[in-house]
Amino acid sequence: MFKVSKYRHTVGKIDKRELWYPDVNTTGNSSASTFIKANSKWVALNWQSNTGTIGLIPLKSFGKRKGETFLIHAHSSGVIDFEFNPFNEHQLVTASDDSTIKVWNIDEAIRSGATSLSSASIVCSGHSKSVECIAFNPVANNILASCSADKTLKIWDLSNGEEKYSWNFEQGSLTSLSWNYDGSLLVATGKDLKNRIIDARTGESIQVGDGNQGVKASRVVWLGNLNHFLTAGFSKMRERQLVLWSSQDLSKPIKSITLDSSTGIISPIYDQDAQLLFISGSGDSSVRVFDMNTQFTKDPAFTELSPVPSDTPSKGICALPKRALDVMEVEIDRIFKATPNNIIPITFNMSRKSKSTFADDLFPNTASTKPSLSSIDWLSGENKQPILVSLNPSDNQINNDLDDLQLNDNEPVKKSTFFIDDNTNDNSNVVEQSKSEPEQQQQEEKKISSSSSSSSPTNSSSNVINSTPSSPIVNDNIQRTGIVPKVVRSSKYRHISGSAHQKSQFYTNLKINGSTSNTCIAVNSEYVAVPMVGIGGPLAVIPLADKGRQIQVPCIEIGSQLCDYDLSQHNTSLVATGSEDSHVKVFKIPTGGIPKTTANKSNNYTTTEADFVGHNRKVISVNFHPTAENVLITSGGDMVVKLWDLNEGGAGEKLSFANVHTDMITSVDVNWTGDKILTSSKDKKMRIFDPRTNKGGLASETVTHSGSKGGKAVWLGQTGNIFSVGFNKSSEREYQLWDSRNLQSGTPLASDKLDHLSGVITPFYDEDSGVIYLAGKGDSSIRMFEINDQEPYVHYLTQFSAGTPQVGVAKFAKKTSMDVKKCEIARFYRSTDSTIEPLSMTVPRNRQEFFQDDIYPDTRQTCTPVMTSEEWFDGCIREPEFVSMKPSDMINLSDAPPPPKKEDKFVVSQEVDNTPSRDQVTNSLLSRVSNQNASSNWEQIEKLKHNFTDYDNGDISDSEWD
């Protein structure tokens, strides 16, 4: 029997915008390790300020808020880490660059009606440098662990602010801490790249082993009541990775997963009840989920589930405690994602046939807010398991009332102006200060009775300050169901999805070189090419039909380090290469492909059709002209663009554009009619050339992305617009949409940030659908945007996630080869370090037996040139030819008959004879008589018996029964 996890169908969705927390101001402090925390009462955010500030928002105050956000002015320097006390939901602890730890009692400030807090209840001063991390003990009250850049680990008793233990780690300061299930041990990662299991009472390192070997800080989380923990960090190659360890043996990891080459530090969040791991790094746009269940295996399964994509980069994430989840809606987890201006809830649910009963198989008992030990008991050496509580609303009514924030009747109510929510216009929810106390009590009783009828514990919970006139007004009618905005934009491609082909269709056993400066994979209708690791710049050119494991890889030997290359779409046997020795070479693949290497000798193909020398430095880019036959466009390190006619052999240089670019050219693209060339450069400018004019070729230019890495730009088909991707001054990846007819204005039509990843993005535009695909080097995903004439012009659709970093991505240009019967609108080839993976982008449709002519317009004929090289250099302009993608055996969807209607089910009425039978009449009469006084009715009984005896003999006609 195939054993699978019961949480494998957990699906995450971004909540509706009505449930977001907008208008926040998340800090941009690069030294901060924590940006957001939440419990069942509050959401705390590391707030943007000149000093260390925390912004507090009641959990139920989602949506627009009036007035000021409650701020805790915590430290003179930035806040690095902060935590809610797990046993006191109105107590927050902060740690800062100023080497102090402070305890804040929120309830006291709320009672006083203040809108901010700047005076801490307790200040813990013991560290001499910045405090890097703090962690509350999961079982003992008021026990806190902290580690600092001063290379010390300290244990504090927050009941009085005393430092109980302190230990030095001279090898290097600790950067991350996590407690085990019973609060007796700590796991720590440090700057010495070691993992440690530490006895929290003695400071002894029970186990020490090598951890993540990257130079950046790693994060650690203990996996609940398991003997395992997980670290999230970087490898020696600066790739982000997750590593699973056993706490009993740190000599080697159990399993590791390489994620991507992003630079953002990952924050791992672990749900010990469902055994689910959530990760998202700083600058990541998606939240990834891993199933760590041990239901069928000794070690955690460590399998990835479906991620939650988004177009908004995050600062950090946190999880809501299980006690605050909507368990009757089978909400497994809720993650809060902090962005610069919003807090976005992401709910993870499972489908159930019925939601009327509590799913006890999915919601085991969870940690309560009651400590198992006092600080004195724990310090004396006692150990206990956490106290658990049921999540079943009928077994345990979760207290979401005011708790210790309930004001006394004789205490005057202080008026405040913060946390007022204008999310609803229902005045019946407003508790006016002028109303009498009995009226307020009646309203509260009505609220409680109406909310208790709901099956959702989240909806039945009241805000922690609802008893005051300044309480938030929360619309409890809003349901947490997915990412459906108020107005859904209509689009045929809104549900586009990507999928990899079967592994049998992969090209494997390759040693791909990902260090080429530009192209890492190219494809035409017959071949796919990737640069290989080796001497002489080997370029593998593999026939598309040769799928599977590559035993002998056919290669072209360039003779120097390969920089860029391209495959011709018109003559599929032509390959053009550019190398560090400034040579541009053209090879022609023999019929049947390049001869494969033998076991004894390497027979790399070296025969060239042409060898051009014109650049003074290495060749940066090589591109075949998309409409003119045998025209080649190259750019070099000498910042010169050259155009070559392959028909003229060694004297093929026809045009050259020098003294225009002031830095290295990063991309070259040609418009759809083939008469204009678009370039991007590291000098932060984008230029349009008309290469056949007598005015130097430069038509217009503009300043684009301000980052130092430069960008890439592509033409958007017949629209005349340009789409560019690059980096801003903060090294954030971004996109811009430009009108090529108005570049001089210097203002793009649209622009937005993407994320903080470091890989250079290559854009691919599909002219037929208007969808642009963004694939970054080192990323594990491909993002999709639709571009049209509706503001804001660029609309995020979705993203395809592969799970492994990509070296390069190439778009298959021959649209007539798409599988229209499966509604395939685009095909890509994705290369990793050792494989080439075909991908298909499809649009879900119901009636796939018909040709979907609404998503398949006539497409450009890319395999046939529009003109010869001679015609093009003579100034000819000719539009491309278009062909239909419709197979001969299919009917257009627009011409298809309407779908057959489902036949209504008719229920045949049957006449039922309800006339009682003779035996029923007899027994009924006898029963009625027997209930009367037997002594006074014997004569009647005898008479009735005599009558029925006559009836049985046939003395009564059937008509008398009507």
Confidence of residue 191 (pLDDT cuts 50, 70, 90): very high
Place of tokens 């491309």: 880
CA–CA separation, 86 and 142 (whole Å): 9
CA–CA separation, 670 and 824 (whole Å): 26
Q: For residue range 594-614, what is the model confidence (pLDDT) as tens digits?
A: 887 554 455 688 889 999 998
Count each helix (H run) and each strand (E run) in the chain, helices first: 7, 65
Strand order of the β-sheet with 698-703 is 665-670, 677-681, 685-689, 698-703
Instruction: Provide the whole-model pTM.
Output: 0.61
Confidence of residue 670 (pLDDT cuts 50, 70, 90): very high
Q: For residue range 121-176, what is the model confidence (pLDDT) as tens digits?
A: 999 999 999 999 999 999 999 999 999 999 999 999 999 999 999 999 988 899 99
> Does residue 112 register a pLDDT over 50?
yes
For range 878-906, the mean pLDDT: 84
C-alpha R_g of the chain? 36
What pLDDT is attached to residue 601? 52
CATH value at residue 15: 2.130.10.10
What pLDDT is attached to residue 757? 84
CA–CA separation, 255 and 230 (whole Å): 10
Which residue did the predictor score with more confidence, 416 or 710? 710
Q: What count of residues does the chain have?
A: 962
Confidence of residue 910 (pLDDT cuts 50, 70, 90): low
> Does residue 506 register a pLDDT over 90?
yes
**Domain membership flag for residue 601:** no
For the record, the structure tokens of 894 come out as: 């627009």
**Domain membership flag for residue 259:** yes
873 conformational bin, left if phi > 0, alpha if psi -120 to 50, beta if neither: alpha
For range 747-756, the mean pLDDT: 90
> Does residue 648 register a pLDDT over 90?
no
Examine residue 543 and say whether the peptide bond preceding it is cis (omega within 30 degrees of 0). no
What pLDDT is attached to residue 938? 56
CA–CA separation, 62 and 285 (whole Å): 21
List, in order, residues 6 or more apart from 667 with CB less than 8 Å away. 621, 678, 679, 680, 711, 712, 713, 714
CA–CA separation, 912 and 182 (whole Å): 69
**Domain membership flag for residue 707:** no
> Does residue 324 register a pLDDT over 50?
yes
DSSP one-letter code for 192: T
**Average pLDDT value over all residues in the chain:** 84
What pLDDT is attached to residue 315? 92
What pLDDT is attached to residue 28? 84
SS3 445: helix
Which residue did the predictor score with more confidence, 87 or 941? 87
What pLDDT is attached to residue 597? 59
AA letter at 37: K
E strands, 48-87, are 52-58, 65-66, 70-75, 79-85
CA–CA separation, 615 and 658 (whole Å): 11
List, in order, residues 6 or more apart from 450 with CB less than 8 Å away. none
> Does residue 446 register a pLDDT over 80?
no
**Domain membership flag for residue 218:** yes
Q: For residue range 26-41, what is the model confidence (pLDDT) as tens digits?
A: 988 888 889 999 999 9
Q: For residue range 936-962, what is the model confidence (pLDDT) as tens digits?
A: 555 665 666 666 555 555 555 555 554
- CA torsion angle for 59, 64, 70, 75 (degrees, to 10)? 90
Which residue did the predictor score with more confidence, 110 or 740? 740
Place of tokens 């008469």: 675
Sign of torsion, CA 421 425 426 430? positive
132-136, 514-518, 547-551 — most confident range = 132-136
What pLDDT is attached to residue 3? 65
> Does residue 24 register a pLDDT over 80?
yes
Residue 884 near residue 858 (C-beta atoms within 8 A): yes
CA–CA separation, 844 and 767 (whole Å): 20
CA–CA separation, 193 and 609 (whole Å): 53
CA–CA separation, 618 and 61 (whole Å): 59
What pLDDT is attached to residue 443? 46
For the record, the structure tokens of 435 come out as: 């109303």
For the record, the structure tokens of 834 come out as: 């050792």
In 59-218, where does DSSP find H-type helix? 106-111
**Domain membership flag for residue 857:** no
From the number of C-beta atoms within 10 Å of its C-beta (0-12, 13-18, 19+), residue 215 rates as exposed
What pLDDT is attached to residue 1? 44
E strands, 282-389, are 288-291, 303-304, 316-319, 331-338, 343-349, 366-367, 388-389
**Domain membership flag for residue 673:** no
What pLDDT is attached to residue 221? 97
Helix axes 918-930, 938-952, angle to 10 degrees: 170
Place of tokens 């109105």: 90
Confidence of residue 335 (pLDDT cuts 50, 70, 90): very high
> Does residue 336 register a pLDDT over 70?
yes
Residue 730 near residue 721 (C-beta atoms within 8 A): no
Q: Kindly report the number of other CB atoms within 10 A of residue 6's CB atom.
A: 14
DSSP one-letter code for 441: H
What pLDDT is attached to residue 312? 86
CA–CA separation, 169 and 175 (whole Å): 12
What pLDDT is attached to residue 903? 63
Kindly state the helix (H) or strand (E) to which residue 698 belongs, with its residue range: strand 698-703
- CA torsion angle for 470, 472, 475, 479 (degrees, to 10)? -160
Using alpha carbons, select from 826, 829, 827, 825 the residue that is nearest to residue 848: 825
Kindly state the helix (H) or strand (E) to which residue 676 belongs, with its residue range: none
SS3 679: strand
CA–CA separation, 962 and 949 (whole Å): 20
What pLDDT is attached to residue 310? 86
Percent of the chain with pLDDT over 90: 60
Strand order of the β-sheet with 266-271 is 266-271, 276-281, 288-291, 303-304
Q: For residue range 695-704, what is the model confidence (pLDDT) as tens digits?
A: 567 889 999 9
Residue 778 near residue 237 (C-beta atoms within 8 A): no
Long-range own/partner contacts, residues 433-440 (CB < 8 A, 24 or more apart): 433/469, 437/409
CA–CA separation, 69 and 47 (whole Å): 10
Q: What's the structural domain count of the chain? A: 1
Task: Give the residues across from 177 on adjacent strands.
Answer: 188
Sign of torsion, CA 543 549 555 560? positive
**Domain membership flag for residue 404:** no
CA–CA separation, 256 and 210 (whole Å): 13
C-alpha 276: how far from its chain's center?
A: 15
SS3 377: helix
160 conformational bin, left if phi > 0, alpha if psi -120 to 50, beta if neither: alpha
Cα–Cα distances in Å, from 766 out to 69, 154, 546, 715, 769? 45, 58, 27, 10, 6
> Does residue 420 register a pLDDT over 90?
no
For the record, the structure tokens of 811 come out as: 């778009």
What pLDDT is attached to residue 485? 42
Residue 155 near residue 198 (C-beta atoms within 8 A): no
Q: Which domain holds residue 334?
A: 11-375
> Does residue 513 register a pLDDT over 50?
yes
From the number of C-beta atoms within 10 Å of its C-beta (0-12, 13-18, 19+), residue 502 rates as exposed
SS3 617: coil
Q: For residue range 920-942, what is the model confidence (pLDDT) as tens digits?
A: 777 777 777 666 555 555 566 56
What pLDDT is attached to residue 957? 53
**Domain membership flag for residue 458:** no
